[in-house]
Amino acid sequence: MEHVTETNALEVRWFGSGTPPPALDEWLARWGTTDTATRTDLYVAPPVPSSNLKLRGGGDAIELKRRLGPPERRAFGPDVIGSVEQWYKWRFPLARAPPTSTGDATGLWTPVTKTRTLRTFDDGSGDALAHVEVSELTAPATAWTCCLEVSGPPAETAAAFDTLADDLFGDDFPVALAADRSFGYAEWLRRVAETEPTADVLVPSQR
C-alpha cells in the first residue's frame, strides 16, 4: 500500500463565473506545453475557509488540507491583486475506492467536475515545484479558477513563488484578477455548496 504523502505549498487563486476567459487559455499556452484532464472530486462542504476535505476523482485517495496562517494580500501587477495562502496537504491513499453513488444522507458532499489545464515549472535548481492552472468547474453552476501553486521546503518555496509570480503576472497579463475574487477552494465551496446537513440526519431538537 502507498504511504501517506505530505505537501507544503504557497498558493494564490482566483475564481470567476462561467467558462474561463479565452485570453487566460491563450496566456497559459504561451508558457509552453500544458496538460489537460477532466475528473470529478467529492468535497465535504467546509464550515470554515481554513480546511478542506475531498475524495479525489476515481476514489484513489482522501486529501485533507489545512491553511497555515491568514491570507496575505498582495499586488502582482496593475490589475492583478490576490490573497497568498500557505496550505499543508495530507494525501491518504485508499486500497479500495469507496462507493460514491449510493446517495449522501447528510447532503454535505459536493461533486465538483474539473477540466484542468496545467503548466508545470521545474528548473531543476532546487526542490520547489510549481504549476499554473486554469480550470473550468461545474458544481453545479459553471465557474473557472486560475491558480499559481509552489510546493516544497519552506526555505525555498517563498523565493520560488515570488520569482515566478513576478514573471507570470506582469504588465502584459491579459485579464484583470480582482482581490475580492481571490480565495481558496474551501472559501469558494462555502459560497456555492450546502454547508448545513439535511434535516433527516439531525436529532429532532436540532432541526
> What cell numbers appear for 15 in the block?
475564481
pTM above 0.85, yes or no: yes
Q: What are the structural domains, with CATH classification, of the chain?
A: 5-195 (2.40.320)
Q: How far apart (Å, rounded) are the C-alpha atoms in residues 119 and 146?
A: 12
- Is the pLDDT at 21 greater than 90? The verdict is yes
In this structure, how many other beta carbons lie within 10 angstroms of the beta carbon of residue 19? 14
- Is the pLDDT at 195 greater than 80? The verdict is no
Confidence of residue 12 (pLDDT cuts 50, 70, 90): very high
Q: How far apart (Å, rounded) are the C-alpha atoms in residues 124 and 157?
A: 14
Q: Residue 170 has what pLDDT? A: 86
Between 26-30, 122-126, 149-153, the lowest mean confidence (pLDDT) is in 122-126
Strands 5-17, 80-93: pairing is antiparallel
Query: Position of cell 491553511?
Result: 67
Q: Average pLDDT, stretch 108-124?
A: 88
